[in-house]
A and B are shown apart, each in its own frame.
Chain A
Amino acid sequence: MSERKIKCVVWDLDNTLWDGVLLEDGEVTLNEACAQAVRVLDERGILHSIASRNDPEAAMAQLKRFGMDEYFLHPQIGWEAKSESIAAIRQALNIGIDTFAFVDDQPFEREEVAFRHPEVLCLDAVEAAELPGRPEFTPSTVTPDARARREMYRSGIQRDQAEREFGGTPKEFLSSLDMTFTIFEAEEDDLPRAEELTVRTNQLNSTGITYSLDEIREYAGAPDRLLLMAELDDKYGSYGRIGLALVDCGQETWTLKLLLMSCRVISRGVGTILLHHIMRLARDNGVRLQAEFRETPRNRAMFVTYRLAGFTRVAEGADDVAVLESDLGRIPPAPDHLRLRIGQRA
C-alpha cells in the first residue's frame, strides 16, 4: 500500500477542523493541527473538501472568518450521509475513489464511509498532525502545475458555471474566453510535468507509450530532437501545461514519436494547434513529416486528428505502431478564437 497516493482529503468540521460544535456552542476555535495539515498538503497539490453535518451558510461563514474557505473544493455541508458526500465530491473532481482520505473525529462516521467506500483511507481527527509525514500524502515530485492544482480546479468551476449560463453558441463561448495558446521548447523545469503528461493522458495520446524522466530528458536540448510543450490560459486563469510533442528530427524526415493533449482542454477547440505548428516547422525546414500511431482502447480521437489533418498510413512498424505521413499540403491557420504564441512563456 506504500504506492498509494492521496489526491483529495475530505474533512469533517465540528471537533475536527475546528474545536467545538458550531450550532450548539456558537463559538468555535480553529484546530491548528488540522489547519496546518490543510495548508501543507495544499502546497503539495493535494486537494481538500468537506463533508459536514451542519448549516451550510453558517459553516461557510465560519470558514471564511478563519480564512480557510478558499482551500475547499465542492464542500458538502448539509445532512446527507458522509458516504454520499464523498461520492458527490468524487464525481465533481473526477478522480478515483482510492485517492481519497477522510478525516473525522467520530468513529460512527468513519465506519459509515468505510463500509460504503472501503477504498477510502479513513483517519481520526487526532491523527491530522501526522498527515504531512505519511507516504500517502507525499507525492514523488511536486510540479508547479501540482502546486497550482487547486487554483486550476477553482477557475474550472467558474468557467463551467459561465458556460452553463452563457446564452450564445459554443463557438461564441470559446471566443469569450480570451484564450492564449503558447508553444515552447521544454526546459529542465518542465520535464517532470512532461513525464506526468505521458502517464496521465489517455484519450488524446498518439501511442499510449509512457516515458521516464530520463527518456524525456534525452529529447530536451538534443540537436536532432525536439521536445515541445503547450500551455493554455484564458480569462479565468491557467489550464497549465497541457500538451506535449516528442519529435525525432532526421536529415530528410522528422518523426513525431508522441503527441498528446490533456483532457482538461478537450472541449476548447485547441486539439490540432500543436500538430499544425509541427507541420509548419517541418514544411519550413524542407523535411518530410511522419507520425507514429499506436491504437489503444481510448485514443481514437487522436487517430481522427491525424487523419483529418491529412495524414495517411504509409507503413506498419513493430509493436503495433503504424507510421502515418502528411504531404504538408494544406495546413490551416490557428483558429481565430484564440491567440497563438510561439517560444515565449507567459
Chain B
Amino acid sequence: MRTSNDERTALREFLEPRLPSTGWSDDEDLFDAGLVDSFMAMEIVTFIEGHLGTAVPDEEIDIANFRTIDAIAALMERLG
C-alpha cells in the first residue's frame, strides 16, 4: 500500500538533483525561494502523472498545490 511517505521520498528523489543542494524543508516556499520556475513546474506535473499513472486535472494546476514539498505530496496523495 502506498503511503504519503512513499510519495514524499519519490518526490524528493526527483527534485533533489534539479535543485541546489542547500537544505530546504518540506514547508519552504519553492517559488519564493526562486527554486522552481514554471517549466520546472511542468516537469513536476509530468513526474506526478508518470508516477501515479493519472492526469493532473486542470483545476488542480494551481500554485497553491505546487508551492511546497508538503503541498505537492498532498496533491499526489489526493490524486493517487
Show the binding face of A for B, using Cβ within 8 Å. 169-172, 266-267, 269, 271-272, 275, 300-301, 303-305, 307-310, 330, 332-333, 335-336
Contacts and interface: CB of A to CB of B under 8 A. Distances in A.
Contacts of B19: 169, 171
B42 interface: yes
A310 B37 CA distance: 12
B27 interface: no
Contacts of B38: 271-272, 275, 301, 304-305, 308-309
A304 B18 CA distance: 19
Q: Most chain-A Cβ atoms within 10 A of its Cβ — which of B18, B21, B41?
A: B41
A308 B42 CA distance: 9
A271 B20 contact: no
Nearest to B31: A332
B21 to A, nearest CB: 6
The 6 nearest A-B residue pairs measured at CB: A305-B38, A271-B39, A307-B61, A301-B42, A272-B38, A304-B42
Contacts, number: 60
Nearest to A311: B63
A131 to B, nearest CB: 40
A269 B39 contact: yes
Interface of B: 17-21, 31-32, 34, 37-42, 45, 58, 61-63, 66
A332 B40 CA distance: 15
B20 A269 contact: no
Contacts of A304: 38, 41-42, 45, 61
Contact of B37 (A170, A269, A330): A269
B18 A169 contact: yes
Contacts of A275: 38
B34 A266 contact: no
A305 B17 CA distance: 22
8 contacts: A171-B20, A271-B38, A272-B38, A305-B42, A307-B61, A309-B38, A332-B31, A332-B34
Given A170-B18, A272-B39, 5 more contacts: A304-B38, A304-B61, A305-B41, A307-B61, A332-B31
